[in-house]
Structure 1
């Protein structure tokens, strides 16, 4: 993995904030869906089991103000507390939590690198794609599980996804 991509994927800063800094455009959220999934594992990484249920799943596109999709994200929340933390559903998670001055620890659990025809269609970009999933911890308890996939469009800002030989 190229160093710039390592910073995006392995760093503990806000990806939404990083996207704004890279593109010099406001990062906006298009909410695809918010659904109660109850105790269903919902095809999520197994670590979802530590997020108390019943759970609600939120799916979004992160895009520039001019409309370029940069990332897909799904997050799973304890349904009874989601409104407490995501008061404005159209804001990025980091913006909602920052407004509340919520102290968090980002615990990266997995990285992905692969192909997806559905993501190619949705992003309008040919893969491969980098993704990750992580937990946000708050006051020693898991707050949410987040799964993100980043568009290859970001190579315009970050350079190639893989380091060259050497």
Structure 2
């Protein structure tokens, strides 16, 4: 699993970060129950609502190494940054990290923003261009992925970045380590993944089968 840092250009280096404009969103109760298959197909729910590593899942789906383009590492201090409210669980001053997750052949599969306590980020991201999963696995860090929000929505920047039309599905979650919040992560997945996961929704007829 490798990573690169992309050069600065208007498409990949945002002044802020790419939050979806939600058409629909759900919280912890919806996540625990799961969604109707006519709203989100079971395969997509495994990706979005499960507590496994998306970087690892993408590698297994595509059969290619998952590579990471780091597009932003910004110290944001105590600013709430337009992030989900859970950002307040991450001690400040904070650092924001943004990445594209893509195949080795260059296909972008997901976008992610994460917020870290700035003074401790180097403990966990010793190589900041590696995927979070790879960095923490090297450290044998025990983690709990606590999915707290799920969205379906639009973003012009992500349409350009993925070269796919919306709406897109995304989520946010906290990583817990030793009973303390380690980082808040916001992820959005490309509709290109229908190639591997199938349709995002099942028809009512298929949903009954």
TM-score with structure 1 setting the length: 0.98
C-alpha offsets along residues 25-71 of structure 1, whole Å, 9 cap, x if unaligned? 00000000100001000010011001000000000000000000000
**2:196 maps to what in 1?**
157
Structure 2 unmatched runs, 5+: 1-39
How many residues of Structure 1 are paired with residues of Structure 2 in the alignment?
Answer: 166
Considering Cα pairs closer than 8 Å and 6+ residues apart, tell me whether 1 or 2 has the greater RCO. Answer: 2
* Correspondence 1:49 to 2:88: yes
**1:118 maps to what in 2?**
157
Alignment of 1:104-143 (within 5 A): 104-143=143-182
Give RMSD over aligned pairs.
Answer: 0.7
Find the residue that maps to 1:125 and give its secondary structure.
coil
2:68 corresponds to which of 29, 32, 38: 29
List structure 1 segments (4+ residues) > 6 angstroms apart after TM superposition.
none
Find the residue that maps to 1:13 and give its secondary structure.
coil
TM-score with structure 2 setting the length: 0.78
* Correspondence 1:71 to 2:110: yes
Find the residue that maps to 2:175 and give its secondary structure.
strand
1:115 CA displacement: 1.9
1:164 CA displacement: 1.4
C-alpha offsets along residues 84-110 of structure 1, whole Å, 9 cap, x if unaligned? 000111111000000000000111010
1:128 CA displacement: 1.4
Structure 1 unmatched runs, 5+: none
